[in-house]
Amino acid sequence: MHEMGLMAEMVDLLAESAKEHQVRRIDKVKLIVGKMTNALPDALQMAFDVYKEQELFSPSAVLEIEERETIGHCAECGTTFPVRDNALFICPSCQGLRIDIVSGRELYIENYEGEEETRYDN
């Protein structure tokens, strides 16, 4: 399950960003996950549930996952189309094989919400 490793990297990025922006606890994380990454949303959720036990997250922290379909663009005829089978990249209009993938490879943190640190300066 490579999702555990992916989530570990994302938690590191979140911790770094939270520190930089003085966020004390994270309440919500939104991920964008392309289908070509083969990262399963349920497995990412399970990994998040393990990592959310860390002090970085509030006890009620939630993970929102937006899946992105694989979209191809034919370099031969210009057709943009959803790729139904990730193994077959054939244009449905002209049967061309010069396909550029324009969506489906994404895997990133879209945003997160959290509680800012409280500071008391004298």
Residues at the annotated binding site for Ni(2+)? Answer: 2
CA-wise closest residue to 110 among 65, 71, 70: 65
Binding residue numbers for Zn(2+):
74, 77, 91, 94
Strands (E), 55-106: 57-68, 71-74, 80-82, 99-103
Binding residue numbers:
2, 74, 77, 91, 94
Asked if 105 contacts 72 with a C-beta cutoff of 8 angstroms, the reply is: no
Q: Which amino acid is at 20?
A: E
